[in-house]
């Protein structure tokens, strides 16, 4: 197993144990609003510290980009760990057991290892560049469905700002009748992991950050899927949207929204 993936799994397990204990003891959770509809808790912050502490024990020279503490450059600026310690914080606050830890390792901008861990279900999605994707110890592949009309798509609403709502609704209005159904569960990291595992046929959203997508994009690609923006262009951390799907659904999705 890729050494970076091994450390990412170790870090995710350590943070996951803490998150599960906090989830089961609601009095330990202190939540505050970072921005409109954007929350953080003391559990996010402590989980992030546990992840960084685990990484630094093995790679003290590496750089860190984490959602809550930002960018901390090490002597090795070419290797960056991209961390979301608790993706789905609002679910966590409300007692909805659907959230995940997301950890990716980038070298010179290319993701080489990735982990998405659902601590409530004990599901560890992982990948390293060129070695395929796994759920725990089992190899996973994207779904084989060839038709968008028979596909279930996952999505996320642009809840942080009203600026993308009208554009999002245009896409939603075109896609809902074109597919079998749409799901909005509240964790982009798990949505991407579910695409990789074949549980949904595609995922699309606007306005995500690198820590939301860095791990999931590699896991989807290593599971045989495609990742781009909603117009089918190559995906980057600066993209304003994301589309991840099996190759057949990806192409039909892009065709459906080509005129927007």
d(CA 9, CA 233) in angstroms, rounded, equals: 31
Could you give the angle at which helices 3-23 and 42-58 cross, rounded to 10 degrees?
150
Q: Residue 230 is part of which domain span?
A: 148-256
Question: Crossing angle for the helix pair 247-256 and 165-175, nearest 10 degrees?
Answer: 110
Q: Tell whether 100 and 228 lie within a shared domain.
A: no
* Same domain? 157 vs 51: no
Give the per-residue pLDDT at 49: 98
pLDDT in tens, 225-239: 999 999 999 999 889
Which residues are within 8 A (CB) of 122 and not within 5 positions of it... i.e. 6 or more apart? 136
pTM: 0.95
| pLDDT value for 27 | 87
Mean pLDDT, all residues of the chain: 95
Q: Which two tokens stand for residue 209?
A: 């950050």
- Among 109, 139, 169, residue at a domain's last position: 139
For residues 112 and 17, state if they share a domain. Answer: yes
Residue in 27, 93, 85, 49 with CA at minimum distance from that of residue 215: 85
Would you give the DSSP letter of residue 119? T
- DSSP E strands: which ranges in 184-238? 202-206, 226-228
pLDDT for 1: 56
Q: What parts of the chain have a pLDDT lower than 50?
A: none
Co-location of 225 and 164 in the same domain: yes
Is the same domain home to 81 and 179? Answer: no
Q: Report yes or no: 5 and 114 within 8 Å, Cβ to Cβ.
A: yes
CATH at residue 98: 3.30.540.10
pLDDT of residue 186: 95
Last residue within a domain, chosen from 139, 173, 201: 139
Neighbours of 177 (CB within 10 A): 8
Q: Compute the distance between CA of residue 189 and CA of residue 192 in angstroms, rounded to an integer.
A: 5
What's residue 34's pLDDT?
Answer: 74
Cα distance between residue 189 and residue 173, in whole Å: 24
DSSP state of 150: G
Q: Give the pLDDT confidence score for residue 260 in this predicted structure.
A: 86
Q: How many structural domains does the chain have?
A: 2
What pLDDT is recorded for position 144?
97
3-state SS, residue 226: strand
pLDDT digits (tens, 9 = 90+) for 170-218: 999 999 999 999 999 999 999 999 999 999 999 999 999 999 999 999 9
pLDDT of 17 reads 98
Does residue 155 sit in the same domain as residue 111? no
Q: Which of 88, 117, 139 is the last residue of a domain?
A: 139
Tell me if residue 49 falls in helix, strand or coil: helix
Helix (H) or strand (E) holding 162: none
């Amino acid at each position: 197993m890729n050494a970076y993936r091994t450390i990412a799994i170790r870090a995710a397990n350590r943070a996951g144990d803490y998150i599960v204990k906090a989830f089961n003891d609601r009095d330990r959770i202190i939540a505050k609003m970072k921005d409109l509809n954007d929350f953080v808790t003391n559990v996010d912050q402590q989980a992030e510290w546990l992840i960084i502490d685990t990484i630094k024990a093995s790679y003290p020279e590496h750089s860190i980009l984490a959602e809550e503490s930002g960018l901390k450059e090490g002597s090795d600026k070419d290797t960056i760990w991209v961390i979301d310690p608790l993706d789905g914080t609002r679910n966590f606050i409300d007692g909805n057991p659907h959230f995940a830890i997301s950890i990716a390792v980038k070298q010179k901008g290319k993701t080489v290892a990735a982990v998405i861990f659902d601590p409530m279900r004990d599901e560890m999605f992982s990948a390293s560049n060129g070695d395929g994707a796994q759920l725990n110890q089992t190899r996973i592949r994207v779904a084989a469905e060839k038709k968008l009309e028979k596909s279930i798509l996952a999505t996320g609403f642009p809840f942080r700002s009203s600026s993308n709502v009208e554009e999002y609704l245009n896409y939603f209005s075109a896609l809902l009748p074109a597919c079998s159904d749409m799901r909005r569960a509240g964790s982009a990291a798990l949505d991407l992991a579910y695409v990789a595992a074949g549980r949904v046929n595609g995922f699309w959203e606007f306005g995500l950050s690198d820590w939301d997508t860095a791990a999931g994009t590699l896991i989807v690609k290593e599971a045989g899927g495609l990742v781009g923006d909603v117009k089918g262009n190559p995906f980057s951390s600066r993209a304003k949207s994301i589309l991840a799907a099996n190759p057949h659904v990806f192409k039909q999705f892009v065709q459906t929204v080509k005129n927007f």
